[in-house]
Amino acid sequence: MNKLGIYTKKVIKHFQKPKNYGKIKNPDGVGKVGNVICGDVMWLYIKVGKNKKGFEVIKDIKFETFGCVAALATSSVVTELAKGKTLTEATEIDKEKIIRSLGGLPPIKIHCSVLAVDALSEAIHNYLMRKNRKIPEELEKRHQRIEKEKKLIEEKYKDWIKAEEKIHGRKK
């Protein structure tokens, strides 16, 4: 049996013993995605260095995640996949690759793998922005989509957020 409940053994392994969790002090780039309202928040920190050929690589990567088993496992696996990769290679990590690395995800949890890809893209985008560098078209497109989705969620839950602020008497 390669499954425990709804999750594969690989998912459970990453969940139980996550790789690269925590914060990086003075990171070169940070990607913050997800929303507490939906129950998943992923923060990804990267440190960028150069490899022997002179290409920029992800020297170090760490994550902090609030979320379900799938969110924690995809966070862990994306850091593993990205570590040591050039920025271009890292940008090419997609949700299929993450899902494959985990031996599959339940359909209802596919969005967690998207979140992990987004977090990585955002961290790289953030790094390039900080360096005042040209942002590849694909990365900028993703950034625009992520920002748009953030707004949509805030819009969708506007009433809830207002009600919650009223009940708790404080700003979010």
Interface residues toward another protein, by CB under 8 A = 4-5, 7, 12, 15-16, 18, 21-22, 36-43, 63-69, 71-72, 108, 157, 160, 164, 167-168
Q: Is residue 69 within 8 Å of 50, Cβ to Cβ?
A: no
Q: Which is nearer to another protein, 77 or 87 (CB)?
A: 77
Element (H, E) at 56: strand 56-66
Asked if 108 contacts 38 with a C-beta cutoff of 8 angstroms, the reply is no
Identify which of residues 12 and 139 has a Cβ nearer to another protein in the complex.
Answer: 12
Least separation in angstroms between residue 54's CB and another protein is 34
CA dist., res. 147 & res. 15, Å (int): 28
Of the residues 44, 58, 71, 112, which is catalytic? 112
The CB-of-69 to another protein minimum distance in angstroms stands at 5
Cα–Cα distance between 20 and 60 in angstroms, integer?
Answer: 9
* Sign for the pseudo-dihedral over CA of 29, 33, 36, 39: negative
Min. distance of Cβ 123 from another protein in angstroms? 13
* DSSP H or E run through 142: helix 137-156
Cβ-based nearer residue to another protein, 34 or 101: 34
Catalytic residue flag (residue 68): no
Minimum CB–partner distance for residue 84 and another protein (Å): 22
Q: Are 28 and 47 in contact (CB under 8 A)?
A: yes
Phi/psi at 148 (nearest 5 deg)? -65, -45
Is 112 an annotated catalytic residue?
yes
Comparing CB distances to another protein, the nearer of 38 and 135 is 38
Active site positions, annotated: 38, 112
